[in-house]
Amino acid sequence: MTKISVNINKIATLRNARGGNMPDLIKAAIDIQNFGADGITIHPRPDERHIRFQDVYDLKKVITTEYNIEGYPSLEFMKLVDEVRPEQVTLVPDPPGVLTSNAGWDMIANASFLKDVVSYFKSIHCRVSLFVDPSPMMVEAACHTGTHRIELYTEAYASGFAEDPSEAIRSYIEAAQKSK
């Protein structure tokens, strides 16, 4: 069954731009869950340009659905996840300083590193998802890390859809079939 987890980073970005607490991130998370979302997703970054580290702890107190924390597995990020213990951690290959996620993991080059990180998060009872490109080869390599899930990077689909929707979706269908 399909479930929806709402990423609330942009709500935090707006709050931070305005100063103060408007919009109220905690109230937004509560409302989103009450409106039927199956989870809340956040992506704290070292510069705290949207989700602040304190938000991660404050949200833990009010999230009654699935809590998903995305991020690059730096030591600081791993410590944060260890302290908060969300239901899911999504590992993305955007180290500090990158504005936004712009690719999936190179599962071949990072196989050993990711296998160790996935194992660690599983040992603290967090479900793990890896952010990967829509390539059957990358999906297969992700399976060898022990991850529970994958999330497909969708830029190629978004940028190719207007020109040729069938071609834009092709690699995603192939990746999804490989993940079964």
Given this model, what pLDDT does residue 135 score?
93
User: Contact at 8 Å (CB) between 122 and 114?
Assistant: no
Given this model, what pLDDT does residue 61 score?
98
Amino acid in position 143: C
Per run of 10 residues, the mean pLDDT along the chain (length 180 residues) is 90 95 97 98 92 97 98 95 97 79 89 98 97 93 94 89 92 86
Q: Could you tell me which of 36, 38, 47, 35 has the C-alpha nearest to residue 9? A: 47
What pTM was estimated for this model as a whole? 0.91
Given this model, what pLDDT does residue 55 score?
98
136: how many CB neighbours lie within 10 A of its CB? 14
Instruction: Give one DSSP letter per residue of the chain, joined into a string.
Output: ----EEE-HHHHHHHHHH-TTSS-HHHHHHHHHHTT-SEEEE---TT-SSS-HHHHHHHHTT--SEEEEEE---HHHHHHHHHH--SEEEE-S--TT-SS--S-B-TTTTHHHHHHHHHHHHHTT-EEEEEE-S-HHHHHHHHTTT-SEEEE--HHHHHHTTT-HHHHHHHHHHHHHHT-
Given this model, what pLDDT does residue 46 score?
87
